[in-house]
Chains A and B, each alone.
Chain A
């Protein structure tokens, strides 16, 4: 075997009851490269990494793994870590109430005479933090760090284990642009020190920026592997091999017919509930027309979600004044149920924590925000419920065997469709979508886009909050930009491009004037 190959996975097959998650995946990673793995949700990327790291022990899968020239037979994570393979998961796995030092040496404590040597541990933590570019007190509690810093601590932890092959599962999915750039820079630095990285990512621009090679997985099989030449990657080629079909256009064509202004917010002021004195919305003003899709752009922490949630029945923050008008009528929105009643729907950004009750079936989820509609007398009518759920399933093309199936049996994209269905069932006039396509694959995104257009065509006002600028440009009629709680601009998307938006997103109102 060539010495330059650090890892070779051959014909890996992994089955779960009823499902073949991996169906002969082959992966070859050269020493010291950054290797990206792409694939739709459910393609088998995470399963493959779990096979590699011993989460699924040797013997529970078929195929062979060669690591550093020898066949690897990891029985658990400990063994793979000892060999220098460390995974950093999408959901960070640190304990918020413990310090950086305690987290870094969790399960790997420096013990002398049966007791933990905290002095030594702190010393080493300082060294590790320096390597990842963190300048913090090692006693700082994890909960006081931003997500970007937490990610760096995770990497420091991996370095403490003498990592040779670092696997990052969607490392930037929760990071803002600056933190993402920082992380990618760090990965380049690690590479120069001889650490091999495997990165699972959906973000094609990142892949283009740092990868040396890309492997695309679809339906549990390797579709193709190819080298990336000097920062250039053919995005359309990756997309078409991910979904198995060529996508000429990532956004469905649509002609909008905006009507009257039906939704107006003015002088909206909200204070951060945790940091007194910090305003998360500063005299925000915007309006939406019937049949219009209005985008909201802003960096993480700019206050987009806070603005939307405070409008949705004061669900967030301390309200300091402002008015909401629907079709010229001023609305009082003291509670979420009042907002729903008034015809506002809010699809939250965090599907699992805010959008769904994971114990519910599809049919229970669909009706859950509008139980009134399935009442017969004072009791809930299961027949009406079933009809509503079936209608939704057809309209949204949810892939499921039955509406009685639990929402956890669905893929991310289908879960999101069910959440959309739940809010469409409230028959809203104004639909606020907060990151509606986060974490779902390209095919499902396309369908969500089509649904957004359908709703706009029905004359609803659609507000689209998104971190992906191409999505905003492709989908919206107009785009508002927010920076540090202030609305800093509004542009017609015909005249907008990513640079213009980014400039407005990083310009505070103070510097603008």
Chain B
């Protein structure tokens, strides 16, 4: 037990969902006779869900500050449509059309942010308004007709990395290169971390957990590289997936490692205490809402690229998928709690369910029912685990021999 902790850190609880996700994938693979874990299915899983996961990144931050954004689907649809119309009817070059779409997204974000931050209107109401406004606006400007998208965009929405180099590797060399980079990064980061720990702390960390972490990381990345790289010729780790990974890395750093990141958790945890600690609460609200619509525009444009045309109903109910991902990932409705990484696991859970149930031939109706049940089960599990006084299920599984019980008494710290 202690050895596992040395490798993975003290908080094993956060791996529960990862284990559940892996179990789900394995289950579907067996049930579908091996159709789940294939290169093309995994490629589709990523490129087909990247846009929802990108929304979920922004949504996590919005939920952490204690707000919600219901308008992301409408905003995504609207920005995608503006981009397509600019290209098709106003003869913008494709890149200018994309910039215009993104710019509109930022403006809408400023609009939402203004009402939430400056006027103090709850995000639920503000974005309910925006949801209606921009859904109406999409239909209005498109006259309910689909508009073809620039073909250059297909690369962003569903593209693959180029094929090059020697064939003896037996896989897509771009993907291979990515994998090698990723492994190199893991090794570098682990060794640097280890060096810093031993430089600064009195209780030195032995080398073996680092080695095991590197071996584990290398194994996982190596396997995924092989999985994504050995699809049909011409396919690789998908471009939307790559965009997603880059965004996740950027936003993970922002939320965990910057002052702005701390501020969003502070504002969500206790707005008044944050204000008295020098946090500009209004600015934090404004930027978070702005960022959400920016990501919504990006997701909308990527989706248009993938489907080659902007439709008037694009983005309908995406907000619900994004919100579900965040809550499955363990965020709290009251704000202040949740991480990008857990949200991504939550989002993948929904994606794997969609894909797996489809492979099993379950209809869309039943899939919806099952997704609803999974949302409830995941959140109920989380709530149960966090309830004071209970020893969490993970702890029970892992911690049976450990004598110390850190939970302590739930109540009556003050009498």
Contacts and interface: CB of A to CB of B under 8 A. Distances in A.
A412 B409 CA distance: 15
Given A340-B278, A359-B337, A371-B259, A383 B412 contact: no
A372 B274 CA distance: 15
A39 interface: yes
A45 B412 CA distance: 9
Contacts of B415: 21, 39, 41-47
Contacts of A353: 270, 272-273
A16 B274 CA distance: 33
B280 A335 contact: yes
Nearest to A336: B278
A383 B279 CA distance: 22
Contacts of B258: 378-380
Contacts of A346: 276
Interface in B234-288: 253, 256-259, 261-262, 265-266, 269-270, 272-280
Contacts of B157: none
A357 B414 contact: no
Interface in A7-64: 16-19, 21, 39, 41-47
**Chief secondary structure at chain B's binding surface:** loop
A312 interface: yes
Nearest to A348: B276
B196 interface: yes
Nearest to B337: A359
Contacts of B273: 348, 353-357
Nearest to B253: A379
Contact of A46 (B10, B256, B407, B412): B412
B270 A357 contact: yes
Contacts, number: 122
B257 A408 contact: no
A21 B262 contact: no
Contacts of B165: none
A181 interface: no
B411 to A, nearest CB: 7
B389 interface: yes
Contacts of A315: 275-276
Contact of A412 (B280, B391, B414): B414
Contacts of B409: 16-19, 21
Interface string B382-415: 0000000101000000000000011111111111
Contacts of B275: 315, 336
Interface string A237-268: 00000000000000000000000000000000
Nearest to A409: B408
A473 B265 CA distance: 40
A380 B280 CA distance: 18
Contacts of B389: 16-17
A346 B336 CA distance: 23
Interface string A405-438: 0001111100000000010000000000000000
B390 to A, nearest CB: 9
B413 A357 contact: no
B207 interface: no
A47 B412 contact: yes
Nearest to B408: A18
B274 A411 contact: no
A46 B411 CA distance: 10
Interface residues of B, number: 38
A368 interface: yes
Interface in B275-320: 275-280
A346 B280 CA distance: 16
A411 to B, nearest CB: 6
- Classify chain A: how many residues form its interface, as a range: 35 or more
A449 B94 CA distance: 68
B200 interface: yes
A16 B413 contact: no
B276 A368 contact: no
Contacts of B274: 357
B200 A422 contact: no
A491 interface: no
Nearest to A44: B415
- Pick the most buried of B279, B280, B407, B414: most chain A CB atoms within 10 A of its CB: B414
Nearest to A335: B280
A19 B408 CA distance: 7
Contact of A360 (B196, B253, B269, B407): B269
A387 B412 contact: no
B262 A368 contact: yes
Contacts of A404: 10
- Pick the most buried of B10, B196, B253, B275: most chain A CB atoms within 10 A of its CB: B275
Contact of A21 (B278, B279, B412): B412
A110 interface: no
A175 interface: no
A507 B256 CA distance: 53
B277 A336 contact: yes
A80 B116 CA distance: 46
B277 A372 contact: no
A16 B277 contact: no
- Pick the most buried of B258, B259, B415: most chain A CB atoms within 10 A of its CB: B415
A371 B260 CA distance: 10
Given A17-B405, A18-B409, A372 B200 contact: no
Interface in A162-210: none
A46 B273 CA distance: 27
Interface in A47-88: 47
Contacts of A379: 253, 257-258
5 contacts: A16-B410, A357-B265, A371-B259, A375-B259, A379-B253
Given A46-B414, A340-B278, A353-B273, 7 more contacts: A16-B408, A43-B415, A47-B415, A315-B275, A339-B278, A357-B265, A439-B414
